[in-house]
Amino acid sequence: NAGVTQTPKFQVLKTGQSMTLQCAQDMNHNSMYWYRQDPGMGLRLIYYSASEGTTDKGEVPNGYNVSRLNKREFSLRLESAAPSQTSVYFCASSPRRDGAYNEQFFGPGTRLTVL
Amino acid sequence: AQSVAQPEDQVNVAEGNPLTVKCTYSVSGNPYLFWYVQYPNRGLQFLLKYITGDNLVKGSYGFEAEFNKSQTSFHLKKPSALVSDSALYFCAVRDIQNNNAGNMLTFGGGTRLMVKP
């Protein structure tokens, strides 16, 4: 039981390049999330998917797109990377769509640098 | 809108002493409150949560937190700190009245706990 997995672990991009961050969970969770973590700012929600087939914007969605490929997988795409997107990206999942009090389970993160 | 504040960037404590990491929140209704811990180069791990009931919540690794509605606080505590408790701690909140379908949480900026031998 791997929990939440993310690939890649590290990535360096040049400004304007594109890439997709992959996330998968094997806990049969309904909801999945993408966060970015910047020093002193905690975690900020980029996009989330309450259930398979739905996605919604979070606090900081500009410059990102997401795809909920199936119940297990939720990818984050940067179409044209900018230095301001240098950050650590975390994927998370939680069990139930209506489980407001369910804790979230986090992946190990992807450290992205945009030059 | 929901928000959470962690007023201390860093807390230093000697091993064996009690520790407190502070968290205050703002919601329009009633809160669901969470504490998470992050060790270096790792994702966040759930420690404990307050949903309803007893104001003192016990969680993993000997941590506990006290919900205080009048002070809108949810401080994390441990009676005797260990060097291995050194990590980054995040408080998070969700407003029960906030009708977002995805169980969205708002996180504080984090507090670094340093426990010295």
Under the banding of pLDDT at 50, 70 and 90, the label for residue B64 is: very high
Is B103 close to A108, i.e. CB distance below 8 A?
no
Contact A115, A30 (CB under 8 A): no
The pLDDT tens digits for B25-46 are 998 888 899 999 999 888 899 9
Contact B13, A67 (CB under 8 A): no
- The answer to whether the CB atoms of B103 and A31 lie below 8 A apart is yes
pLDDT in tens, A51-63: 888 999 988 999 9
Q: Is pLDDT of B102 > 80? A: no
Lowest-pLDDT choice from B3-17, B31-45, B97-111: B97-111
A107 interface with B at CB cutoff 8 Å:
yes
Can you tell me the mean pLDDT for A93-115? 84
- C-alpha dihedral over A100, A54, B99, A38, to 10 degrees? 70
Confirm if A97 and B101 have CB atoms less than 8 A apart: yes
Other C-beta atoms closer than 10 Å to the C-beta of B26 total 14
Determine contact: A61 vs chain B, CB below 8 A. no
Res A101 pLDDT > 80:
no
Place of tokens 């410059």: A63
Nearest of B67, B70, B72, B85 to residue B11 by alpha carbon: B85
Within its chain, how far is the Cα of B114 from the centroid? 16
Q: Could B107 and A50 be called an inter-chain contact, meaning their C-beta atoms sit closer than 8 Å?
A: no
Q: Rounded to a whole number, what is the distance in Å from the CA of A107 to chain B's nearest CA?
A: 5
